Structure 1
Amino acid sequence: MKRRKHKASGETNLGFQIAPMIDVVFVIMLYFMVMAGAVQKENSHNTKLPGTETRDDVAEETPDEIAVRIEEDGQVYLNDDPLDAPGNAPLKELLFNLAQLKSSSDAAKSKVLVTIYAADSAQYQRVIDVLDVLGQVSIENVTFQAGAE
């Protein structure tokens, strides 16, 4: 019988092992694929500096801002002034005041910007009534603010 020689553990040459290298490459690739979804795009914000336009041009671009607030009980406020009773559906006072504001802003060649502040539990019909009035006086620049002002 022949005796086998056992090599010491330091003398064993396994060669170049590719399997662990492939595993590491796949883990790194998986990391970059997951992190690519978390990249946020940056948006540019164009800002005009003052002093580059004439006074007449600035007056045309500055909108007249109006706040319309609708409370839970249906009371409508125009710039903190209460108009029309909560049960009135036509909103005649609001229509009259907005028509005057629209005509004065048209005479001044400025836009009208209306922000509607509706309470969280305000009735949708009351918001629709206010939008109808805005449509009657041809005010197109309308924004909404959630919750109270």
Structure 2
Amino acid sequence: MFKSNLKRTPNIQILPMIDVIFFLLVFFMLFTTFKVSPTGLEINLPTARTVTEQEEDLQVNITIDSNGEVYLDDEKVEMRYLEFEISKYINDSPDALFIIKGDNDVKYESIVKVMDIVRDMGGYRLALAADKESLN
């Protein structure tokens, strides 16, 4: 019956927009700070002139990073569980090749400890990984 002569101004809800923007900001901040190398783990291998490529059917990579953390095929494993995990590989394939990739900054003691665990579990084929030294 009665019509209002006042026009309603459009009302923009800003709070949901702020929530979405904040979520996007946090998402990009988190996922752009993760440093991932194409091979998985970021380690600096020592260099050697006599490096040869190992071509095997079953290679098990054991990586020790600069902090002494151990990774078995790119999965983090605590040192106390390493024996169990390695024994599973040896039960499946007794002649598996275990390649130990130790960072330049890793303690020699850690590499020897991992080698000792592999040998205790019955692994007799070990290799130490290194990058090929460039001839300059």
SS of the counterpart of 1:122?
A: coil
Q: CA offsets per residue over residues 56-92 of structure 1, 9 Å max, x none?
A: xxxxxx64210000011100000000011xxxxxx22
State the partner residue of 2:91: 103
Query: In structure 1, how many angstroms separate the alpha carbons of the residues matched to 2:93 and 2:106?
Result: 29
Q: CA offsets per residue over residues 105-148 of structure 1, 9 Å max, x none?
A: 14xxxx2001111000101111111011011111111111126x
Q: Match for 1:74 among 68, 89, 92?
A: 68
Higher helix proportion? 1
- Greater RCO (CA < 8 Å, at least 6 residues apart): 2
Q: Match for 1:146 among 127, 130, 134?
A: 130
Q: Which amino acid aligns with 2:124?
A: E
Offset at 1:93?
1.1
Query: In structure 1, how many angstroms separate the alpha carbons of the residues matched to 2:91 and 2:60?
Result: 14
SS of the counterpart of 2:129?
A: strand
SS of the counterpart of 2:114?
A: helix
Runs ≥4 residues deviating over 3 A: none
Query: In structure 1, how many angstroms separate the alpha carbons of the residues matched to 2:82 and 2:100?
Result: 13
Whether 2:118 is the aligned partner of 1:134: answer yes
State the partner residue of 1:92: 80
**Larger C-alpha radius of gyration, 1 or 2?**
1
Aligned ranges for residues 1-149 of structure 1 at < 5 Å?
A: 63-84=57-78, 91-106=79-94, 111-146=95-130
Query: In structure 1, how many angstroms separate the alpha carbons of the residues matched to 2:126 and 2:116?
Result: 12
Structure 1 gaps, min length 5: 1-61, 85-90
CA RMSD between the two structures: 1.4
